[in-house]
Amino acid sequence: MVGLGPRRQPSRKGSMADVPKDLLREIRHLEELFTIDTAKLKAITEHFVSELTKGLTEEGGSIPMNPTWCMGFPNGYETGTFLALDMGGTNLRVCEVILPEEKGEFDIIQSKYRMPEELKTGTADELWGYIADCLQQFIEYHHEGEELDQLPLGFTFSYPASQDYIDHGVLQRWTKGFDIDGVEGKDVVPPFEEALKERGVPIRLTALINDTTGTLIASAYTDTEVKIGCIFGTGCNAAYMENCGSIPKLAHMNLPPDTLMAINCEWGAFDNEHVILPRTPYDVVIDKESPRPGQQAFEKMIAGLYLGELFRLVLVDLHDNKEIHIFEGQDIGTLRKPYSLDASFLSAVEDDPFENLSETHDLLASKLSLRATKPELELCRRLAELIGTRAARLSACGVAAICKKKDYKTAHVGADGSVFNKYPHFKARGAQALREIFDWEPKKGGKSARDPVEIVAAEDGSGVGAALIAALTIKRVQEGQLAGIKNADAMLKGTKAEKKPEEQV
């Protein structure tokens, strides 16, 4: 079928022969709703390029295109000991990263702490207090009884923050289902530092970074072909290096035009004004019922947080409103609960290796107390494929748009996140979409042949990437390059970097 990308692997034939006509009609309708053909991919990509450019102007557009003050790539010879903190949706991760003398090497120790669900909708004080407690625990555990210098910290805060300085950031709005009062529109660093100070934790925040920027830098540390960092996880976003001369909104800083600046695109906001993305009625519901309607239009069609919910909304609609009434006569109470299915549910449906879809059958029974007929199982499988394929193909539009904007003929794109790493066929479907967008000839040389732009598994952005950005920042401050640094003395104060080289043991 044109434009659907690679079909599922031939583990099963997936015959629709025994699917009754009316159910088949619904399946065909869903295919129309969720399929994005080559022409549409190209149109979305073109519009994306102009929106990326617009986001860099003084007036701005819907994509924030946040300058990060991470200026340039690592050369592989960064050294030192750094802390890295990652405030994700499910976990809080604290790492100590050692960058040794050897090029491109690193050592890492880490601890994970659960992010209690209540924190995501609690108060700002609770959030910062909890994070500071975890950092304190980490340091007490790993450095018991030691006399410590202030440890430089790279803090991965994976939400849109506008940054006048690398060690500060004003949260533009919560994304990914977070909804904590009193943080939006404010600098997140002072209350965080306050919580550390109250507890006497010896940490100096050196860089506030986005997960995409961390991914870009960590991946470029080990693979110099990497030009873009992407996250396809609970949220969806990318970062790349722009020349300061192409960032009109930074013109007042008079930075050399060739100097590089990592841009955290926050591309989840692409098409918030709904001019190009082919939204289905289900996408409209997701948006309306979300904590921030009208925001993150692109992300809501792609990210892991929403894939299961899309699937759920379609099934409820087919039960309630369509003539076919799937799961007829059954209690769909569990299915009615918003966000009761996550992307791993869809992954499992797509991964079901059996011709009779018995794993899908059992999953529906155990998770939702539903007994599905064989045709209903075929519908579930097709629906999961459609939602997963659409997500991968739309993601490729963003990657292609950055390549077109920068005129990259070849590139590696470092990608991370649960959807990229775990969702079946996501990589292959994304690669297929890139081939369609760029009209690449079919690969000669079989499997080993490479596409000019390849999305590859990233290095650890919020650990190694955050440490590298802290290292690059300290180096820059020591060299007197102070663009985007609020207070150079304060940044180094009490850390090893403040001491003369001979004292730095």
According to the binding rule CB under 6 A, does residue 463 interact with ligand GLC? no
Told to check if 160 binds ligand GLC by CB under 6 A, we report yes
Nearest approach in angstroms of CB 175 to ligand GLC is 4
Q: Would you count residue 163 as binding ligand GLC (CB under 6 A)?
A: no
DSSP letters spanning 297-341 = TTHHHHSHHHHHHHHHHHHHHHHHTSTT-TTTTS--TTTTSTT-S
Smaller CB distance to ligand GLC: residue 302 or 477?
302
**Contact positions with ligand GLC (CB under 6 A) in 85-104:** none
3-class secondary structure, 86: strand
272 C-beta neighbours (distance < 10 Å), count:
18
Q: 14 to 73, contacts with ligand GLC by CB under 6 A? A: none
Assess whether 211 carries a catalytic annotation: yes
**Candidates 99-107, 230-238, 332-340, 489-497 — which segment interacts with ligand GLC by CB under 6 A?**
230-238
Q: x/- contact string, 379-418, with ligand GLC (CB under 6 A)? A: ----------------------------------------
User: Judged by CB under 6 A, does residue 211 bind ligand GLC?
Assistant: yes
Rounded to a whole number of angstroms, the minimum distance from the CB of residue 148 to ligand GLC is 31
* Separation of alpha carbons 323 and 339, rounded Å: 25
The yes or no reply on residue 237 touching ligand GLC (CB under 6 A) is: yes
Q: Which of 268, 304, 388, 461 touches ligand GLC by CB under 6 A?
A: 268
Buried b (16+ CB within 10 A) or exposed e, 47-79: bbbebbbebbeeeebbbbbbbbbbbebbeeebe
**CB closer to ligand GLC out of 231 and 310:** 231
Pick from 388, 232, 235, 386: nearest CA to 297:
235
212 in contact with ligand GLC (CB under 6 A): yes
Identify which range of 6-14, 204-212, 248-256, 287-295 contacts ligand GLC by CB under 6 A.
Answer: 204-212
Told to check if 210 binds ligand GLC by CB under 6 A, we report: yes
Q: Site residues for ligand GLC, window 275-334 (CB under 6 A)? A: 299
Contact 130, 473 (CB under 8 A): no
Give the nearest distance from C-beta 184 to ligand GLC in angstroms.
12
**Subset of residues 105 to 134 that bind ligand GLC, contact rule: CB under 6 A:** none
User: How far is it, in rounded angstroms, from Cα 99 to Cα 84?
Assistant: 12
Instruction: By CB under 6 A, name the one of 35, 45, 163, 175 that touches ligand GLC.
Output: 175
Rg (Cα) of the chain, in Å, rounded? 24
The residue whose two tokens read 């939602």 is 387
Strand pairing report for 170-171 and 453-457: unpaired
**Closer to ligand GLC by Cβ: residue 154 or 160:** 160
Q: Which of 193, 232, 198 is nearest to 85 (CA)?
A: 193
**Candidate ranges 208-216, 218-226, 273-281, 386-394; the one touching ligand GLC (CB under 6 A):** 208-216
CB 205 within 8 A of CB 469: no
Beta carbon nearer to ligand GLC, 63 or 255: 63
If one counts every other C-beta atom within 10 angstroms of the C-beta of residue 277, the result is: 19
173 is catalytic: yes
Per CB under 6 A, the segment of 3-11, 227-235, 394-402, 468-476 that binds ligand GLC is 227-235
Q: Name the phi and psi angles at 138, rounded to 5.
A: -60, -50
Q: Which of 8, 62, 86, 158 is catalytic?
A: 158
CA distance 42 to 401: 9
CA dist., res. 307 & res. 402, Å (int):
24
Give 301 or 474: the residue with its C-beta nearer to ligand GLC: 301
Interaction between residue 235 and ligand GLC (CB under 6 A): yes
Please identify which of the residues 25, 173, 199, 336 carries the catalytic annotation: 173
The answer to whether 266 contacts ligand GLC (rule: CB under 6 A) is: yes
Contact between 469 and ligand GLC per CB under 6 A: no
Residue from 87, 231, 433, 467 binding ligand GLC (CB under 6 A): 231
Please say which residue, 210 or 395, places its beta carbon nearer to ligand GLC.
Answer: 210
Is 15 noted as a catalytic residue in this protein?
no
- Residue 320 beta carbon to ligand GLC: minimum distance, rounded to whole angstroms: 31
* Phi and psi angles of residue 216, each rounded to the nearest 5 degrees, phi first: -60, -50
Size, binding site for ligand GLC by CB under 6 A = 16
In sequence order, what DSSP letters do the residues of 35-49 get, joined into one string? ---HHHHHHHHHHHH
Local structure of residue 107 (DSSP, 8 states): E
* Nearest one of 273, 208, 210 to 236, comparing CA atoms: 210
Torsion of CA 377, 383, 388, 391, to 10 degrees: -170
DSSP track, 179-239: --TTTTTSBSHHHHHHHHHHHT--EEEEEEE-HHHHHHHHHHHH-TTEEEEEEESSSEEEE
Footprint on this chain of ligand GLC (rule: CB under 6 A): 158-160, 175-176, 210-212, 231, 233, 235-237, 266, 268, 299
Catalytically annotated residues: 158, 173, 211
